[in-house]
Structure 1
Amino acid sequence: MYCECSPVWDGKDDLFDVGSLDDLGLLPNLRRISGAQDCGPGVRFKEGILAARGIAFD
């Protein structure tokens, strides 16, 4: 999926690391986050914020 957004991304930078959940409103159809333990470098997802928007994660 990352290759669709940035075809030449080599994974060696933080281009796709989530820094905050402030922009969740831009993803109105997001219902599940799967396969991710955290937002980026060790920052855990805030389950309360995700749950309030009906987003499950595992």
Structure 2
Amino acid sequence: MEKLFSFDLTPAEADIIIAGLAELPAKTSYFLIERLREKTKAFLEQNQAIEKVKE
């Protein structure tokens, strides 16, 4: 179950999803929010690496 999210999100899209997840029961939303944060962080790090290569 490693691939929970297989799509790219912008930080703004991630924020919208996180806000929506806040409406879910605490145990469910906590797991999903943490996974989404991990994926968003990895996405941003990947973009930064690409920008460094372009420079």
Fold similarity call, TM over 0.5: no
The TM-score normalised by the length of structure 2 is: 0.31
The TM-score normalised by the length of structure 1 is: 0.30
Bigger share in helix:
2
